Amino acid sequence: MSALEMKVFAGNANPLLAKEICENLGMPLGSATVNRFPDGETFVQINENIRGCDVYVVQPTCAPANDRIMELLIMIDAMRRASAARITAVIPFFGYARQDRKDKPRVPITAKLVANLLTAAGAHRVLTVDLHAQQIQGFFDIPVDHLYASPVFYAHIRNKPWLKEATVFSPDVGGLKYAAAVADMLNLPYGFVAKRRTSATTVQATSLVGEVEGRDIILVDDMTETAGTLVAAASLLKKNGARTVRALVSHCMIQEIAYERLGNGSIDEVITTNSVPIETRGLPITVLSIAPLLADAMRRIHGNSSVTDLFPIKGH
C-alpha cells in the first residue's frame, strides 16, 4: 500500500455513489462544503486536513454539466492549495465526450478543453468509466485509468434464461466494435441497426444486419439521454420478429422525453449503472452499482498496483 493516507471526497453530482464507494473501501466520506453564493458562484471548502494525502474526488460531469465541471475544478484547486500529495478526479461519467473532434467548420473540441482544465486545476490523474470515445484518453497529459461497466453487466445477466437465445445488437454502426466485444464475452452472435438522425432528439432506424427472428435482443450503448436511438432500434427489431429487447446502457442521463419513450413498451428492460443519479419512475429500469468496481480501482491506484485485470473486454 501507499504510505500516503487515502481520503475520498464528493461534489454534488452523485454523493450517494461516493458514499457507497467509501462503504466498499471501509472508510468515511471526507467532509467538504460545496455550495453556491447568492450570485450563483460556486464555493468550496475542504473541512479536514489533507496535507500530504492521496485524495480522490468523485464527481460525474452530468447535467447540469457546466455546474458539475466547475465544482470539480474548484474542488481540485482547493485540494492542491491545501497541499494534497496526489489528486485523482474520479469521473464515472465524463461530460462533453461527444465533442471529441471537429466534424463541422469552426466548432470546438470541448472534450480536449475539459481535459486541459482538469490538468490546469491540479489533477494528477483521472479515473473514468466507459468514455464515449476512447481517444479522449489521449487528450490528457496526465494518466487516465479507463474502466468498463461490462463486468458489472456480465455478473448481472450471465445466468438469465433469456441469454441462451440472445443476439447482441449495436443501435448504430458506430457502436459495432463495442457490440462485437460484448458478444465475444457472452459467446453470442451480434449485429447492428442502421439509423438516420432527423433531428437532435429524433432518430429513424432504417435496416438491420444480424439474427433477429425469435431472438432475445441485447442492445448495447455507452449512453442515452432522450432514448431516441434505443427506442427506434427496439421498435424495428420487434417488427422484425425479436422476442424481447433489452438495453445495456452504461450511462443513463435520461430526460423527460426519454421517460415517455421508454413507457411505450418497445424496450422490455433497460439495465444501467448508477454512474449518474437516475429515477426509475416505475419503468422497467434496473440500476446496477459500479461502486465496488470504482472502489477496487481506487484501492489499486492508491496501492500503486495494476488496474488492468479489471478489464475483462480487450480492445472495446
Within 13 Å and on the Cβ side, how many CA atoms surround 38? 0
Question: How far is the C-alpha of 26 from the C-alpha of 291, rounded, in Å?
Answer: 12
Task: Tell me which of 7, 195, 239, 314 is the catalytic residue.
Answer: 195
Q: What is the 3-state secondary structure (H, E, C) of the chain?
A: CCCCCEEEEECCCCHHHHHHHHHHHCCCCCCEEEEECCCCCEEEEECCCCCCCEEEEECCCCCCHHHHHHHHHHHHHHHHHCCCCEEEEEECCCCCCCCCCCCCCCCCCHHHHHHHHHHHHCCCEEEEECCCCHHHHHHCCCCEEEECCHHHHHHHHCCCHHHHHEEEEECCHHHHHHHHHHHHHHCCCEEEEEEEECCCCCEEEEEEECCCCCCEEEEEEEEECCCHHHHHHHHHHHHCCCCEEEEEEEEECCCHHHHHHHCCCCCCEEEEECCCCCCCCCCCEEEECCHHHHHHHHHHHHCCCCCHHHCCCCCC
Q: Cα(113)–Cα(125) distance, rounded to whole angstroms? A: 16
Find the radius of gyration of the CA atoms of the chain. 20
- φ, ψ of residue 285 to 5 degrees: the values are -115, 120
Torsion from C-alpha of 213, 245, 186, 291, nearest 10 degrees: 180
Q: Does the active-site annotation cover 195?
A: yes
What amino acid positions are annotated as catalytic residues? 195
